[in-house]
Amino acid sequence: MKFATKAIHAGVEPEPHTGAVMTPIFQTSTYAQEAPGKHKGYEYSRTHNPTRTALQNNLAALENAKYAFAFASGLAATDTLLRIFRPSDEVLVTDDLYGGTYRLFVQVIEKFGLKFKFIPMQNAQNIEQHLTSQTKLIWIETPTNPLMNVIDIEAVAKISKKYNITLAVDNTFASPYLQNPLDWGADVVMHSATKYLGGHSDVVMGVLATNREDLAKEFAFLQNAVGAVPAPMDCFLMLRGIKTLHLRMQRHCENGAKIAHWLRSHPKVEKVFWCGFPDHPNHEVAKRQMRDFGGMVSFILKGDDLEEAKRVMSSFKVFTLAESLGGVESLCTHPATMTHASIPKEQREKAGLKDTLIRLSVGVEDAEDLIEDLSQAIG
């Protein structure tokens, strides 16, 4: 099956008792057993829930994975993955990543004895020199948040396989419509489904997907043993959102390209970050591993003046100043004070993230209205 058909049909069968075409919200915590231990595959909703099962099967199909697991948030998914490792294991992480992931690694997981090293990975050659016999996981995000750096998943996977290290890719920014990391050799795909997968800014959820049976067993065990599971209602909303993922992504990409080019030609704009520009340092990699370039665009104004950047962000009428991304509505974020405030300024600047950077999540409205809004705000 091709992508759009999978988005609408994979994992979803008419409900056998009534014929309901849409998967019902199985709002139950427990299931009747005929005799002790004799049940229909469902015992307790932390372990299994039919609405969640349908969603997980759908998510697996979208990522060309055998297995997918849904969690209460993207960070809950990441936290669950990290629990398969042990004290003194080392994790190599791209240096330009979502602030919440950085906080989870450094302020929470590090206390349990894991070590994290943050390095630039746009050039995969840079990775090998940082590996030790203790390195057990490589964690990348591509395109990165918010600098739109692109990492060559296939090149990193070659190294991770050579040294028998697990490679996990945060695929939130691209969504499975634009990029399938498992096809390029990654072991695990993580999503904040809160963003493009849900697409309507009304659910917080996370995903882990994999083809490796050993990892799937661990994830199934931990999903139940740790218990960071999503509610049935949220699984229903996620299934509903995913049915239009391909349509939304097409418009996100179209609008993103129009706005990136418009910003680039604006006399007050210093730099635009978008991996669709042919002179983007990793454009060729983006072209190869992604199907299009997405709707995330960041920019810096000339003069590098924080007050002026703040004035622009407060002047929007269509864009909403808010955290998050990937919804149908356009959002504008100030990473330094919002999504990336949990990364120390020094670390942010080392990764090239200036305090004056403005990040746009370009929605699916009319591009003309979005450009007019940017035009009046920038002045």
Ligand X SMILES: *Cc1c(COP(=O)(O)O)cnc(C)c1O
Q: Taking CB under 6 A as the criterion, which residues in 51-80 touch ligand X?
A: 73-75
Give the whole-angstrom CA distance, residue 235 versus residue 11: 12
Q: Taking CB under 6 A as the criterion, which residues in 326-355 touch ligand X?
A: none
Single out the segment in contact with ligand X by CB under 6 A; choices: 150-158, 189-197, 236-244, 299-307: 189-197
Give the whole-angstrom CA distance, residue 205 versus residue 234: 8
Q: Which of 67, 98, 139, 236 binds ligand X (CB under 6 A)?
A: 98
Binding-site size for ligand X (CB under 6 A) equals 16
Summary count for the chain: helices (H), strands (E) = 13, 12
| Minimum CB distance to ligand X smaller for 96 or for 218 | 96
Q: Quick check: 26 binds ligand X (CB under 6 A)?
A: no
Single out the segment in contact with ligand X by CB under 6 A; choices: 58-66, 95-103, 116-124, 344-352: 95-103
Q: Please report the DSSP string for 24-86 in residue order.
A: P----SB---SBTTB-SS-SBTTT--HHHHHHHHHHHHHTT-SEEEEESSHHHHHHHHHTTS-
Distance of CA 133 to the CA centre of its chain: 29
Single out the segment in contact with ligand X by CB under 6 A; choices: 190-198, 224-232, 249-257, 370-378: 190-198
| Minimum CB distance to ligand X smaller for 49 or for 145 | 145
Beta bridge partners of 135: 90
Q: Quick check: 142 binds ligand X (CB under 6 A)?
A: no
Give the whole-angstrom CA distance, residue 168 versus residue 65: 13
| Minimum CB distance to ligand X smaller for 100 or for 199 | 100
Give the whole-angstrom CA distance, residue 75 versus residue 121: 22
Q: Quick check: 204 binds ligand X (CB under 6 A)?
A: yes
| Minimum CB distance to ligand X smaller for 61 or for 325 | 325
Q: Quick check: 298 binds ligand X (CB under 6 A)?
A: no
State phi, psi for 210 to the nearest 5 degrees: -155, 160
Tell me how crowded residue 160 is: count the other CB atoms within 10 A of its CB: 24
Q: Quick check: 172 binds ligand X (CB under 6 A)?
A: yes
Smallest distance from the beta carbon of 20 to ligand X, in angstroms?
A: 29
| Structure letter (DSSP) for residue 181 | G
Residues that bind ligand X (CB under 6 A): 73-75, 98, 100-101, 141, 145, 170, 172-173, 192, 194-195, 204, 206
